[in-house]
């Protein structure tokens, strides 16, 4: 196992990774921007290095500073967390050439899966159903209209290099198609540096179901079951759970098998997530594979007892997975709420400022992953995620009851958060029945 690991991230996920490292006896090195001097991940690390100014481009995304920090601290490996450089194949390559282990898949796997239209082709080759749509990139309106002739409206135009719900536009007719195409292209160019987009059938009010994969060094690939992330606002996940309350045992078995097959086809190593959309009739379609740990990995950990970050560390250090497929037991149900510094009454506008008082919930079956403390100042430069509250129960009903109690207990004073809105979701009857689709949040907001 590694002796020292640098964590090229901040906030809750940096804290989460450090916890796993400490339990494995690994020394941790934090990096931080000027805005993050007082962030919890800096305090919890064994060593911490300032890597630059507050904007991410000058710190957490600035590869030379991170590599320099890694060399000064003499670490053997870098854990990228999620976001920032986690899915940057070029960064993974630079780590490799500096003889620093990148804790994640190979640069080739990241490139393959990072391009969604290539990933679609790979899924197709593996015999996994994909959303009907264009073969590869669509250049102009004429090409797009040809695809529409085959699949019909509505369609969604998506950035090939997309992520975080950006670079996506829905079109219901030819007129809207032209605008959808140009706006998606320019948004993609601005956000990802590539204007490539492709066209897919827009599945109305689907469910988002994804499968957690762990792939060891010997081609051994296991799955840890599925997560349901259907509660979204503008393609951003708000609440996630495992197991999915809405798929049959048969569909579950199939998508887990398909997810393994995609990872196999890609020659994948490390933790990863294969995402699917499921329609009202139980048809499922591959949409993308994420080659990193996800925000919502926690619910899988709660129901399986497997520490996904530790497994990532084991794989990267050349060790074997600590479990085999037949050893994976899933028990009970877990739900995660993402607590963001956003004001639900003002269009979920991101908020910053001083947290005067923070009281996290506790008690049986509650887990909180967060970098908050009373007196912490939320900077305006980064993602608005403040905390993840995870509730576990013997069954979904119990998990919901515990989540309600946890959200009631939780206090964050000084900065508006999404807690009041999350309470409404958890108390909603459709949510309680598990009978909801992608439009739940929209309906609640109306």
Binding to ligand ADP (CB under 6 A): which residues in 354-413?
A: none
Cis peptide upstream of residue 207 (ω within 30 degrees of 0): no
With contacts defined by CB under 6 A, name the span among 41-49, 79-87, 163-171, 383-391 that binds ligand ADP.
163-171
Question: Among residues 315 and 337, whose Cβ is nearest to ligand ADP?
Answer: 337
Catalytic residue, from 169, 227, 292, 367: name it: 292
Q: Which of 12, 275, 336, 342 binds ligand ADP (CB under 6 A)?
A: 275
Of residues 278 through 307, those in contact with ligand ADP by CB under 6 A are: 287-288
Radius of gyration of the chain (CA): 21
User: Across the strands, what pairs with 200?
Assistant: 133, 156
Which of the stretches 76-84, 161-169, 375-383, 421-429 binds ligand ADP when contact is defined by CB under 6 A?
161-169
Instruction: Using CB atoms within 10 Å of the CB of residue 327, give its burial: 0 to 12 exposed, 13 to 18 middle, 19+ buried.
Output: exposed
Classify 350 as helix, strand or coil: strand
Whole-angstrom distance, CA of residue 294 vs CA of residue 336: 12
For residue 117, state whether it binds ligand ADP (rule: CB under 6 A). no
For residues 230 and 402, which CB has a smaller minimum distance to ligand ADP in the complex?
A: 230
SS3 of the chain: helix, strand, coil, percent, to 5: 35, 25, 35
**Helix residue ranges, H only, 170-209:** 174-192
- CA 199 to CA 158: how far, in whole Å? 6
Q: Which stretch binds ligand ADP (CB under 6 A): 7-15, 194-202, 323-331, 396-404?
A: 194-202
DSSP 152-180: -S-EEEEETT--TT-SEEEESSHHHHHHH
Binding to ligand ADP in span 195-214, by CB under 6 A: 200-203, 206, 208
Instruction: Give the nearer residue to ligand ADP in terms of CB position, either 39 or 239.
Output: 239
Q: Does 235 bind ligand ADP (CB under 6 A)?
A: yes
Distance, C-alpha 172 to centroid of its chain = 29
The reply to whether 162 sits near ligand ADP by the rule CB under 6 A is yes
Q: Which stretch binds ligand ADP (CB under 6 A): 16-24, 55-63, 160-168, 293-301?
A: 160-168
| Using rule CB under 6 A, residue 127 touches ligand ADP | no
Clarify whether 292 is annotated catalytic: yes
Which H/E stretch holds residue 112?
helix 107-114
Residues that bind ligand ADP (CB under 6 A): 131, 156, 162-166, 200-203, 206, 208, 232, 235, 275, 277, 287-288, 438
User: Which residues are part of the catalytic machinery?
Assistant: 292
């Amino acid at each position: 196992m590694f002796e020292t690991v640098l964590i090229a991230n901040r906030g809750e996920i940096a804290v989460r990774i450090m916890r796993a490292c400490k339990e494995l006896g690994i020394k941790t090195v934090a990096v931080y921007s000027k805005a993050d001097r007082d962030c919890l991940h800096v305090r919890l690390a064994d060593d911490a290095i300032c890597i630059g100014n507050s904007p991410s481009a000058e710190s957490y995304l600035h590869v030379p500073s991170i590599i320099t920090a890694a060399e000064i601290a003499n670490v053997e490996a870098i854990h990228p967390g999620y976001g920032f450089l986690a899915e940057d194949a070029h960064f993974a390559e630079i780590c490799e050439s500096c003889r620093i282990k990148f804790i994640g898949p190979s640069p080739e796997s990241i490139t393959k899966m990072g391009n969604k239209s290539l990933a679609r082709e790979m899924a197709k080759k593996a015999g996994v159903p994909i959303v009907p749509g264009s073969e590869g990139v669509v250049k102009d309106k004429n090409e797009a209209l040809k695809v529409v002739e085959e699949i019909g409206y509505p369609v969604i135009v998506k950035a090939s290099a997309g992520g975080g719900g950006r670079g996506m536009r829905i079109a219901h007719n030819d007129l809207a198609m032209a605008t959808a195409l140009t706006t998606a292209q320019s948004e993609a160019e601005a956000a990802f540096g590539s204007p490539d987009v492709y066209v897919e059938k827009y599945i109305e009010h689907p469910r988002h179901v994804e499968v957690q994969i762990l792939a060891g060094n010997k081609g051994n690939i296991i799955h840890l079951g599925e997560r349901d992330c259907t509660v979204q606002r503008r393609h951003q996940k708000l609440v996630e759970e495992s197991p999915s309350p809405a798929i049959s045992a048969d569909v579950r078995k199939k998508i887990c098998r398909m997810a393994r097959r995609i990872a196999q086809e890609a020659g994948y190593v490390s933790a990863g997530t294969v995402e699917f959309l499921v329609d009202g009739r139980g048809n499922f379609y591959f949409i993308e594979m994420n080659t990193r740990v996800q925000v919502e990995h926690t619910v899988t950990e709660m129901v399986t007892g497997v520490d996904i970050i530790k497994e990532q560390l084991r794989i990267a250090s050349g060790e074997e997975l600590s479990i085999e497929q037949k050893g994976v037991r899933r028990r009970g149900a877990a739900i995660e709420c993402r607590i963001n510094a956003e004001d639900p009454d003002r269009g979920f506008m991101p908020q910053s400022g001083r947290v005067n008082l923070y009281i996290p919930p506790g008690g049986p079956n509650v887990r909180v992953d967060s970098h908050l403390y009373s007196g912490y100042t939320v900077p305006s430069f980064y993602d608005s995620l403040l905390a993840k509250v995870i509730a576990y129960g013997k069954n979904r009903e119990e998990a919901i009851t515990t989540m309600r109690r946890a959200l009631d207990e939780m206090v964050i004073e000084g900065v508006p958060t999404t807690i009041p809105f999350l309470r409404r979701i958890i108390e909603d009857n459709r949510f309680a029945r598990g009978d909801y689709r992608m439009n739940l949040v929209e309906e609640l907001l109306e």
